[in-house]
Amino acid sequence: MAKNRICELLGIEKPIFQGGMAWIADANLAAAVSEAGALGIISAMNADETYVAEQIDRIRTLTDRPFGVNVMLMSPHAEQVAKIVAEKKVPVVTTGAGSPGKYMSLWREAGIQVIPVIASVAMAKSAARAGAAAVIAEGQESGGHIGELTTMALVPQVCDAVDIPVLAAGGIADGRGMAAAFLLGAEGVQMGTAYLVAKECGVHPVYKEMVLRAGDIGTVVTGRRFQASSCRCLKNAFSRNFQRIEYDPATTAEDVATLGNGALRRAAVEGDRENGCFLAGQISGLVREERTAREITDDVYNDCLQRLRGASECL
């Protein structure tokens, strides 16, 4: 097997990240993924530094393997969370919702590998210049907050633009997707929706059930009218209501900004089918059973390896 730059850099066996999903990706899920040889990631979401510190301490009781923390840069607690991850010297920080430039020297001095999620060539170049160890090129088929480019279009253009390793995210839930991402030039992948249904994931059972039942056209993007807030979620009463209000002539960007308040919690913690916002990717239709994080990881990785080895037979 050739050496993989992501595995070498982070000391992991399989170049697969578990996405840092807000209200979903806690120390339990992340530990299970890291134990499976991939990289588990704790979501710092909008939580304060106390919660994040507890989660970091907890994952260290569960695994000796490398893990990451996803820092949401728009969080009101971003500054304090940035400090705590440096203080705790977490192995990897992934970032979303902005540029991590402000915290880069703090994190790098703490020995952290910083790997921003990016949605365009310009963001990738900026991250590389700022000292990122790699970038996660995330297509808009992903669940949650998204950009405009798709994985298929984004990954090769980002690979052409930067020399650091590129991980692909968005639309990947099996060995086919991972193998395709590698052919596009990626050296690793990140999967969110696929890990959401892991047995070790403590999300409300209704959330898992909704992902498992979703078909190919089961998701929708809310917030597109007001660009910056595009968000992919499962179709339900919440999403229909959001879209109705979004496209109402009288609605302003400010109205829309508050529409989602509390909706992630209602989905992930309460399992409220009607009023929850169930973030999930377009690949939900391929996610069909609840399995352990190890089963998910091994299956994707081994199938990918087999497909790459047999690829010369494709054509």
Angle between helices 151-161 and 121-130 in degrees, nearest 10: 40
Contact between 274 and its own copies by CB under 8 A: the answer reads no
- CB of 30 closer than 8 Å to CB of 59: yes
> Per CB under 8 A, which of residues 109..138 are in contact with its own copies?
120-122
| Alpha carbons 153 and 151: distance in angstroms, whole number | 6
- Binding its own copies (rule: CB under 8 A), the pick from 109, 249, 254, 274 is 249
Contact between 214 and its own copies by CB under 8 A: the answer reads no
Minimum separation from the CB atom of position 276 to its own copies (A) = 21
- Binding its own copies (rule: CB under 8 A), the pick from 15, 40, 100, 116 is 15
| Residue environment code for 141-166, b if the CB has 16+ CB neighbours within 10 A, otherwise e | bbbbbbbebbbeebbbebbebbebbb
Strand partners, 115: 94
For the chain, the residue count is 315
User: Which residue's CB is nearer to its own copies, number 95 or number 282?
Assistant: 282
Q: Give the 3-state secondary structure of residue 48.
A: coil
Q: Which residues contact 4 (CB under 8 A, 6 or more apart)?
A: 15, 187, 188
Contact between 257 and its own copies by CB under 8 A: the answer reads no
Minimum separation from the CB atom of position 78 to its own copies (A) = 25
Contact segment (CB under 8 A) with its own copies among 61-69, 200-208, 266-274, 276-284 equals: 276-284
Minimum separation from the CB atom of position 42 to its own copies (A) = 26
- Binding its own copies (rule: CB under 8 A), the pick from 53, 110, 259, 305 is 305
Contact between 313 and its own copies by CB under 8 A: the answer reads yes
What's 226-264 look like in SS3? HHHHCEEEECCHHHHHHHHHHCCCCCCHHHHHHHCCCHH
- Two structure tokens written together for 144: 């949650």
Contact segment (CB under 8 A) with its own copies among 29-37, 44-52, 55-63, 283-291 equals: 283-291
Please give the torsion angle defined by the CA atoms of residues 93, 90, 191 and 26, in that order, rounded to the nearest 10 degrees. Answer: -120
Minimum separation from the CB atom of position 307 to its own copies (A) = 6
> Per CB under 8 A, which of residues 157..196 are in contact with its own copies?
157, 160, 170-172, 174, 176-177, 179-185
User: Which residue's CB is nearer to its own copies, number 51 or number 226?
Assistant: 226
Contact between 151 and its own copies by CB under 8 A: the answer reads yes
Q: Give the 3-state secondary structure of residue 96.
A: strand
208, 235, 277, 286, 312 from 193: Cα distances, Å: 9, 15, 14, 10, 30
| Alpha carbons 190 and 203: distance in angstroms, whole number | 19
Site residues for its own copies per CB under 8 A:
1-2, 4, 15, 120-122, 139-141, 148-154, 156-157, 160, 170-172, 174, 176-177, 179-185, 215-217, 220, 224-225, 247, 249-250, 281-283, 285-286, 304-305, 307-309, 311-315
